[in-house]
């Protein structure tokens, strides 16, 4: 069993337990949904800044700063949106982090987790998420299509993550309008920074394209923008920074 399969299997078990403890039968309308896709579609390369305490590949990243402190620094540094990792066993996150980020920042929020069940979409909606991550590699095509439809029906944005051309085709078949291209192979955790630049050519015009994993320098971001990306998702490099505001400001500064 590879890393992704192990995490997905554990997530499915945890979700079943949460469903028994706290049933969610539906979602009422929300008038406070922020435009995640719109934030990424602005001119230039938009930064999605991620709050991530630890990861299976990097171990502990940053656990000495409060979440409100981090997300407020991201906002002051010019981030367009926030990604909040809510997976607990491997990344140290929770839905409480999403609620706290909502209270601390005015930016659109992505719930980043291994979403495998409609219940998790309802959780995300209730906790204040404006967008939900759907990973093609973690879902059967029918599951992906149903979850994507559910996310859209709640007026949230679906960020559909792909790793290769076959997954790109699956994402486009379900109607994905925001596609994340992950440089990290979730089965081995290896990162290839050329993956996204090669794969972005397969995404049609009109789709918002997000680069994910492994970036840390403004030169890399300039290459992404030139290659056709609309946004980049960064977490570890920002979380490790001693001055988050300055680091974000440098990364989001207009290029000459």
| Catalytic residue status for 52 | yes
Exactly one of 46, 83, 182, 241 is catalytic; name it: 182
212 is catalytic: yes
Considering 46, 50, 75, 167, which one is annotated as catalytic?
50
- Rounded Cα distance between 111 and 44, Å, is 23
Active-site residue (options: 161, 167, 183, 241): 161
Catalytic residue (one of 46, 52, 183, 209): 52
Is residue 112 part of the annotated active site? The answer reads: yes
Paired sense of beta strands 59-60 and 54-55, if any:
antiparallel
What are the structure tokens assigned to 175, written together? 């109607």
Instruction: Pick the catalytic residue from 46, 55, 105, 213.
Output: 213
Active site residue 50: yes
Distance CA 29, CA 155 (A): 9
111-116 own/partner pairs: CB under 8 Å, 24+ apart: 111/84, 111/86, 112/50, 112/83, 112/84, 112/85, 112/86, 112/87, 113/11, 113/85, 113/86, 113/87, 114/7, 114/8, 114/11, 114/87, 114/138, 115/147, 116/8, 116/11, 116/12, 116/15, 116/143
Identify the CA nearest to 233 among candidates 54, 52, 48, 43. 48
182 has catalytic annotation: yes
Q: Which is catalytic among the residues 46, 83, 105, 112?
A: 112
Q: Which residues does the annotation mark as catalytic?
A: 50, 52, 112, 161, 182, 212-213
């Amino acid at each position: 069993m590879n890393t992704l399969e192990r995490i997905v299997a554990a997530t499915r078990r945890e979700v079943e337990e949460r469903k028994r403890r706290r049933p969610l039968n539906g979602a009422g309308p929300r008038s406070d949904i922020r435009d995640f896709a719109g934030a990424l579609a602005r001119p230039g390369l938009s930064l999605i800044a991620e709050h991530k305490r630890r990861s299976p590949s990097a171990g502990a990243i940053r656990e000495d700063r409060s979440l409100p402190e981090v997300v407020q620094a991201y906002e002051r540094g010019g981030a367009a949106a926030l990604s909040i990792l809510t997976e607990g066993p491997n990344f140290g996150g929770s839905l409480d982090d999403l609620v706290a980020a909502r209270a601390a920042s005015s930016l659109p929020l992505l719930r980043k987790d291994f979403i495998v069940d409609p219940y998790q979409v309802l959780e995300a909606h209730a906790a204040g998420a404006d967008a939900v991550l759907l990973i093609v590699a973690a879902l059967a095509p029918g599951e992906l299509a149903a979850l994507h439809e559910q996310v859209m029906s709640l007026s949230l944005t679906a960020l559909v993550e792909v790793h290769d051309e076959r997954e790109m085709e699956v994402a486009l078949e379900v109607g994905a309008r925001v596609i994340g291209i992950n440089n990290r192979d979730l089965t081995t955790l290896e990162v290839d920074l050329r993956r996204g630049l090669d794969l972005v050519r397969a995404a049609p015009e009109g789709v918002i394209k997000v680069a994910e994993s492994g970036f840390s320098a403004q030169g890399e971001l300039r290459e992404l923008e030139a290659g056709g990306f609309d946004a980049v998702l960064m977490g570890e490099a920002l979380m490790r920074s001693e001055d988050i505001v300055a680091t974000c400001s440098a990364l989001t500064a207009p290029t000459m």
